């Protein structure tokens, strides 16, 4: 117990120290929200990755989908690396950095407002961000609670929630984006080392990789046929595909992810960040889902506690780790805290900046100085953390982690992905198409929450419904745009002019004529 508490004290001390060190970089809006648009490739890539992967992935998704799909759940991690990281950086990174600076937008809602010349779109987007980041935040704490109760029996979980919320608030309020980025880098290293150590320990306890695979081969599926859980695509390939799409393509429309591209310093940093982010995703996401794929080998441990039906999918990963040595348990707790605090810091910074810059500034408060904007963002950080902590302390009323995250990602990516992507690449994209995407994406997820039993069976899952919300937006935006009046050519040409400025590069970058 002393060892585990000692590791947490050191971890928390470093996080707070970094926040206090970065105070000088957070005196204005540009520094507080974007780190002065001068963040290097390592910090940006790790900030992207640690915002991507949290306790939601490690405990909720890895446990539930590892149990359902077996070793084939590793495909989710591969999809996260290739689609959610590599392609996201290649397709969105450079254009997002250029146009967001050209339009002088610091948030995704502000981008919508200026790209589509509609203050109302900015307000609507900011409300969607605030509302649907709350279930995501709640799922972070819920995932943490499962491991905390396993590692610290007898200690009230509420203590962990309060300590995590307070300390995350301190370093984000003090240091803003730069403190978050530096802490994300430290937390990312912990996540990489931790997941490798945990996988090695768990597989060793099952007799090694080969024996663990043989064990999965003998586990029967629901129809009594063994071998599906160690097969190439698992027992449910269609549902596996839906999960891959939501967790991979979904990042393209999440404000807390896309806004990382706003802060990139240079072209060279984009190239490096692409590689670093992809490798990070392969190790962390691939490792989490690979580990979860062996969950059915621990059926005995779960049955002794009451079985999966009684405990829920979120108990699978804690049961797999319960018999690890104390030093590894401590590493796991720090790993999950790292993942959770990095994502929480990104969420609260995104939410507070959105409410301040997109909802209050220029609408409710007409004239707001730079200093006041930073102060109000800090106030909103406190409010958002308090709300999320209160929800987390009522964890018995929360649903499965995967379902809460599915609702959040489905609504945000369903509403934002298509308008943002087409806004970067297509001059013809029209304001009406953005409204249609907002209404369809957020609307279908709200209906799924309220009237789930009336949905077709395959769409009763928030994850599957979220995929339909995203893919639907990719159809709605071009169709509605083509049916709408053309946007003003002169204005859109000016917006896209940022892509056509001439730059001089060395011959190693281009052969010239």
pLDDT of 400 above 60: no
Q: Using DSSP, state whether 508 is helix, strand or coil.
A: coil
Q: Which residue has the higher pLDDT, 277 or 57?
A: 277
Task: Classify domain 2-396 by CATH number.
Answer: 1.20.1730.10
Confidence of residue 116 (pLDDT cuts 50, 70, 90): very high
pLDDT at 508 over 70: no
Average confidence (pLDDT) over 305-328 = 78
* pLDDT band, very low/low/confident/very high, at 251 (cuts 50, 70, 90): very high
Q: Which of 82, 451, 453 is nearest to 280 (CA)?
A: 82
Question: Where residue 513 falls among pLDDT bands split at 50, 70, 90?
Answer: low
CB-based contact 393:399 (threshold 8 Å): no
Residue 119: partners with Cβ closer than 8 Å, 6 or more residues away: 113, 362, 363
pLDDT in tens, 153-185: 777 777 777 877 888 888 788 888 788 888 888
* pLDDT bracket for residue 143 (50, 70, 90): low
- pLDDT band of residue 401 (cuts 50, 70, 90) is low
Provide the pLDDT for residue 55: 67
CB 251 within 8 A of CB 414: no
Q: What is the pLDDT of residue 364?
A: 74
Q: How many CA atoms lie within 13 A of 409 on its CB side?
A: 33
191: pLDDT confidence band, cut at 50, 70 and 90? Answer: confident
- pLDDT, tens only, 76-88: 999 999 999 999 9
Residue 396 banded pLDDT, cuts 50, 70, 90:
low
pLDDT of residue 372: 83
Question: What pLDDT is stored for residue 281 in this prediction?
Answer: 93
pLDDT per residue over 360-384, tens digit each?
776 677 777 778 888 888 888 888 8
The predicted model gives 339-345 an average pLDDT of 75
C-alpha span between 30 and 415 (Å, rounded)? 26
Whether residue 152 is predicted with pLDDT greater than 80 in this model: the reply is no
Per DSSP, the residues of 418-472 read HHHHHHHH-TT--HHHHHHHHHHHHHHHHHHHHSGGGS-GGGSSHHHHHHHHHHH
Which tens digits make up the pLDDT trace of 17-67? Answer: 888 888 876 777 777 777 666 677 888 888 888 888 876 777 778 888 998
> Region 81-104: what's the mean pLDDT?
92
pLDDT of residue 303: 81
Q: Where are the domains of the chain?
A: 2-396
Burial class (CB in 10 A: 0-12, 13-18, 19+), 455: middle
Assess whether pLDDT exceeds 90 at residue 349.
no
- What integer pLDDT is reported at residue 300 of this predicted model? 81
Q: Is the pTM of this model over 0.75?
A: yes
Rounded to the nearest integer, the mean pLDDT of the chain is 84
Q: Which pLDDT score is estimated for 333?
A: 79
DSSP string, 374-390: HHHHHHHHHHHHHHHHH
Least confident of 81-90, 218-227, 241-250, 379-388: 218-227
pLDDT recorded at residue 315: 79
Is pLDDT of 429 > 60? yes
Compute the distance between CA of residue 68 and CA of residue 64 in angstroms, rounded to an integer.
Answer: 6
- Residue 48's nearest CA partner among 244, 193, 183, 184 is 184
End-to-end CA distance of the chain: 67
What average pLDDT score do residues 346-354 get? Answer: 80
- pLDDT-derived band at 439 (thresholds 50, 70, 90) equals very high
Predicted confidence (pLDDT) per residue in 447-484, tens digit: 998 898 999 988 888 889 999 999 999 999 999 999 99
Above 70 in pLDDT, residue 222? no
Q: Which of 235, 249, 285, 228 is nearest to 61 (CA)?
A: 285
């Amino acid at each position: 117990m002393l060892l585990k508490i000692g590791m947490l004290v050191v971890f928390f001390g470093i996080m707070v120290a970094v926040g206090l060190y970065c105070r000088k970089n957070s005196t204005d809006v540009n520094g507080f929200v974007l780190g002065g648009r001068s963040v290097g490739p390592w910090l940006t890539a790790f900030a992207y990755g640690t915002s991507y992967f949290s306790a939601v992935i490690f405990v909720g998704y890895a446990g539930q989908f590892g149990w359902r799909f077996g070793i084939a759940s590793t495909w989710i991690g591969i999809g996260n690396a290739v689609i959610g990281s590599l392609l996201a950086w290649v397709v969105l990174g450079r254009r997002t950095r250029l146009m967001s600076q050209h339009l002088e937008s610091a948030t995704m809602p502000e981008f919508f407002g200026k790209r589509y010349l509609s203050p109302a779109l900015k307000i609507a987007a900011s409300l969607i961000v605030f509302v649907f980041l709350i279930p995501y935040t709640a799922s972070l704490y819920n995932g943490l609670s499962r491991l905390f109760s396993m590692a610290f029996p007898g200690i009230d979980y509420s203590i962990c929630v309060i300590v995590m919320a307070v300390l995350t608030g301190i370093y984000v309020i003090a240091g803003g984006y730069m403190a978050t980025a530096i802490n994300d880098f430290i937390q990312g290293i912990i996540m990489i080392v931790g997941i490798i150590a945990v996988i090695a320990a768990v597989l060793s306890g099952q007799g090694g990789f080969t024996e663990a695979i043989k064990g999965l081969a003998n586990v029967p599926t629901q129809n009594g046929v063994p071998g599906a859980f160690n097969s190439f695509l698992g027992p449910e390939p269609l549902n596996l595909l839906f999960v891959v799409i939501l967790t991979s393509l979904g990042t393209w429309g999440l404000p807390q992810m896309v806004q990382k591209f706003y802060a990139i310093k240079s072209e060279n940093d984009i190239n490096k960040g692409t590689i670093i982010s992809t490798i990070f995703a392969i190790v962390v996401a691939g490792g989490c889902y690979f580990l979860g794929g062996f969950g059915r080998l621990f059926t005995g441990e779960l049955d002794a506690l009451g079985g999966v039906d009684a405990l829920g999918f979120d108990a699978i990963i804690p049961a797999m780790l319960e018999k690890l040595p104390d030093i590894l348990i401590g590493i796991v707790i720090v790993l999950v805290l790292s993942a959770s605090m990095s994502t929480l810091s990104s969420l609260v910074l995104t939410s507070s900046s959105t409410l301040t810059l997109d909802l209050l500034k220029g609408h409710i408060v007409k004239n707001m100085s730079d200093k006041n904007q930073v102060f109000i963002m800090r106030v909103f950080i406190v409010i958002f953390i308090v709300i999320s902590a209160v929800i987390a302390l009522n964890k018995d009323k929360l649903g499965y982690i995967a379902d809460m995250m599915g609702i959040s990602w489905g609504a945000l990516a369903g509403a934002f992905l298509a308008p943002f992507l087409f806004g970067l690449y297509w001059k013809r994209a029209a304001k009406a198409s953005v409204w249609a995407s907002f209404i369809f994406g957020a609307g279908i997820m709200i209906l799924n929450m309220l009237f789930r039993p009336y949905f077709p069976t395959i769409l009763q899952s928030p994850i599957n419904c979220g995929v339909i919300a995203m893919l639907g937006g990719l159809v709605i935006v071009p169709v509605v745009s083509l049916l709408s009046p053309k946007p003003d050519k002169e204005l859109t040409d000016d917006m896209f002019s940022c892509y056509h400025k001439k730059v001089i590069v060395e011959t190693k970058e281009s052969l010239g004529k």
